[in-house]
A and B are shown apart, each in its own frame.
Chain A
Amino acid sequence: AQTVTQSQPEMSVQEAETVTLSCTYDTSENNYYLFWYKQPPSRQMILVIRQEAYKQQNATENRFSVNFQKAAKSFSLKISDSQLGDTAMYFCAFMNTNAGKSTFGDGTTLTVKP
């Protein structure tokens, strides 16, 4: 069974600065997908960024980028130029290529301070 670990329950960052959220996972699979989701307070979860394990290039979406280290089974999220609207809980998730369900970490609560 896959496991996803987010070792930082809470983090804070000043507006306009950069912050990195950590995620590690455990799997015996070679092909899989990794995701970061954002869950704002009292709002629904939305996808931030995704990475296919067979791609060496790190995914980037505007201010969001990942550092994917397959050998280390590490998948961190970097948020540049943090904005107040980035305040949310962030979940790292793993998905097998042959199964649609996702395994989630317990989340990191990020607070962006003005």
Chain B
Amino acid sequence: DTGVSQDPRHKITKRGQNVTFRCDPISEHNRLYWYRQTLGQGPEFLTYFQNEAQLEKSRLLSDRFSAERPKGSFSTLEIQRTEQGDSAMYLCASSRRQVVGPETQYFGPGTRLLVL
């Protein structure tokens, strides 16, 4: 399978705990994105990387959220001191930056987080 993979697929945690999600992009893709999707809504942008550099962070990404992409390969998204409002689907997408024309983002299956 050469698509975008995410781990774990489901996570249940108690409020106040820390959680970490992993995303493995398509191997030749240099851009990697994190989105959050709550029930009945479209994905909301959180942050993205080009190679190992984090180029943009949404205002949605509070201080409790941190993302890394060491060596420009896989990425991790950590949420510290989780709150019930963090319950959502966390989507990862990857793409190859195009010099001209739109890049196609390929999405992973997502990690569904439930904070009790």
- Which of B18-26, B35-43, B70-78 binds A? B35-43
The answer to whether the Cβ of A41 comes within 8 Å of any Cβ in the partner chain is no
Residues in chain B near residue A64, CB distance under 8 A: none
Residues in chain A near residue B110, CB distance under 8 A: 44
**Partner pick for B41 among A46, A99, A106, CB 8 A cutoff:** A106
What is the minimal beta-carbon distance from A90 to any residue of chain B, in angstroms? 10
Complex: A103 Cα to B91 Cα, angstroms: 14
B: number of interface residues (CB 8 Å)? 27
User: Once the chains bind, are A105 and B42 in contact (CB under 8 Å)?
Assistant: yes
The answer to whether the Cβ of B85 comes within 8 Å of any Cβ in the partner chain is no
A: number of interface residues (CB 8 Å)? 24
User: Once the chains bind, are A106 and B56 in contact (CB under 8 Å)?
Assistant: no
The answer to whether the Cβ of B90 comes within 8 Å of any Cβ in the partner chain is no
Q: What does the 1/0 interface line of B1-38 toward A look like (CB < 8 Å)?
A: 00110000000000000000000000000010101000
User: Once the chains bind, are A106 and B40 in contact (CB under 8 Å)?
Assistant: yes
The answer to whether the Cβ of B64 comes within 8 Å of any Cβ in the partner chain is no
Residues in chain A near residue B101, CB distance under 8 A: 52
Residues in chain B near residue A102, CB distance under 8 A: 43, 45, 105
User: Once the chains bind, are B41 and A43 in contact (CB under 8 Å)?
Assistant: no
The answer to whether the Cβ of B97 comes within 8 Å of any Cβ in the partner chain is yes
Name 7 A/B residue pairs within 8 A (Cβ), A-sorted.
A44-B3, A44-B108, A91-B43, A93-B42, A100-B97, A104-B44, A107-B40
